[in-house]
A = this chain, B = another copy of it.
Amino acid sequence: MRRANLSAVLRLLHFHGPATRSDLVASTGFNRSTVGSLTSELVKLGLVRERPGVFSGKGRPSNVVEPVSTSVHVLAFDVTPSSVGAARVGLGGYLLQVRRRLHSASPHDVPAVVDLIATLAREMQAKSVPGSVCLGLVVSVPGSVRQPDGLVRRSPPLGWHEVPFAELLRDATGHEYPIAVGNDGDLGVVAEYLRGAAQGQQDVLYVRGEVGVGGGVVVDGELLKGAGGYAGEVGHIVVKPGGRVCSCGARGCWEAEIGDAAIIRAVGRDPRESDIEDVISDVAIGNRRSIAGVRKTGEWVGLGLASLVNLFNPRVVVLGGTLGALYPTMEPTLASAYSRALGPVREQALLVRSDLGPDAQLVGAAEVAFADVLEDPAGTLEGRSDPEQQMLSGA
């Protein structure tokens, strides 16, 4: 009971930011003295702090309670075919430090990727405030990830096959943190649902267009996992039978028509010589050929989205990655192709750009490691302050 109540207050502060004691009373439904004693316990744990509220003209101002972003943190990573994104994320979801490094070798070179993450982890950890407890290291990967052991079954964009990624990371980081690996689409939809463009909605479809096209689905407030946790592979629905060969080996996948390479080709460039940033800047300066190519791709985006909303009947469709960046340019053709979706589902779904952009995977990854402390603030911190325990829970 106490544990559930502590959890309720900490969740509110973590997801919605600082709040007055009166706000907490209103949001939780607990009475004033319960909120006071729960707050005091969270203060004692070091997870929140109180400061006097601003005088509003009548009565004594209510204290403002806020999460202490340097009490506990997560090291979050996002592996893409071109780079590794990294963030130290503090309680409250604050991105305390964000960086992105190009791969030192090919993304296919698994040991090099592991090394880069371990180096970034050490650097970020060195900058963390002394005493801040690291809750874990979580990595987003564009591929099918087996849970709970973090084996990457297959990542077509990275060219990985049966890579025991979590295990390799554990060895490379000296078994210092709990480690988890997640699918980029799943982490993206969780991020947009909790903190981004889909906040407050219960049925969400997220599509991340990059070199690979990933996706994730939230159904009635829960991440759609499927039997083995591999659900939501939107990039590999067939949209053009007999079309171009996709990274997965099959022909005519959506990814082969709307992934970065397809867009680069559509604007008349060669994917071996140009990258998607070139396209984005060409479009920004109004290059007609580029705009026409991007619009052409927009038809394929709309077509695939129509299939997906017919299947999932979401309230919000969030476009991330390259698709988010180019959405305003694609909009006319995309909307026209998308209008083939059945009326009742089409009228319920709002199409929006990602709020979190390239940070979505980092934000989502961080929430994986925050889950325990949000569920049981006192118990989790007790466990984690003991380094032996820390190692075990990571094993």
Residues of A within 8 A of B (CB): 144, 146, 153-154, 202-203, 217, 219-220, 222, 224-234, 236-241, 248-251, 303-304, 306-308, 310-315, 340-345, 348-349
Identify which of B227, B314, B343 contacts A313 (C-beta below 8 A): B227
A239 to B306, CA, bound (A): 12
Residues of B within 8 A of A343 (CB): 144, 153-154
Given A154-B342, A344-B154, CB of A226 within 8 Å of CB of B312: yes
Closest to A204 in B: B227
Nearest CB of B to A293, in Å: 18
User: Do B342 and A230 have beta carbons less than 8 Å apart?
Assistant: yes
User: Do B203 and A226 have beta carbons less than 8 Å apart?
Assistant: yes
A222 to B349, CA, bound (A): 22
User: Do A219 and B230 have beta carbons less than 8 Å apart?
Assistant: no
User: Do B250 and A340 have beta carbons less than 8 Å apart?
Assistant: yes
Closest to A236 in B: B310
User: Do B239 and A238 have beta carbons less than 8 Å apart?
Assistant: yes
User: Do B234 and A311 have beta carbons less than 8 Å apart?
Assistant: yes
User: Do B344 and A228 have beta carbons less than 8 Å apart?
Assistant: yes
* Given pairs A154-B344, A237-B310, 20 additional interface contacts (CB within 8 A): A144-B343, A144-B345, A153-B343, A202-B227, A219-B219, A220-B222, A224-B312, A227-B315, A227-B349, A228-B344, A228-B345, A228-B348, A231-B312, A231-B345, A232-B311, A233-B342, A234-B311, A238-B304, A240-B241, A241-B303
Provide a sorted-by-A list of 25 A–B residue pairs whose CB atoms are within 8 angstroms.
Answer: A144-B343, A144-B345, A154-B343, A202-B227, A219-B219, A219-B224, A220-B222, A226-B312, A226-B314, A227-B348, A228-B313, A228-B345, A228-B348, A229-B313, A230-B313, A230-B344, A231-B312, A237-B237, A237-B307, A237-B311, A238-B239, A238-B303, A239-B241, A308-B311, A311-B311
Given A146-B344, A238-B306, A303-B241, CB of A220 within 8 Å of CB of B228: no
User: Do A231 and B313 have beta carbons less than 8 Å apart?
Assistant: yes
User: Do A230 and B307 have beta carbons less than 8 Å apart?
Assistant: no
Given A227-B203, A238-B304, CB of A233 within 8 Å of CB of B146: no
Closest to A240 in B: B241
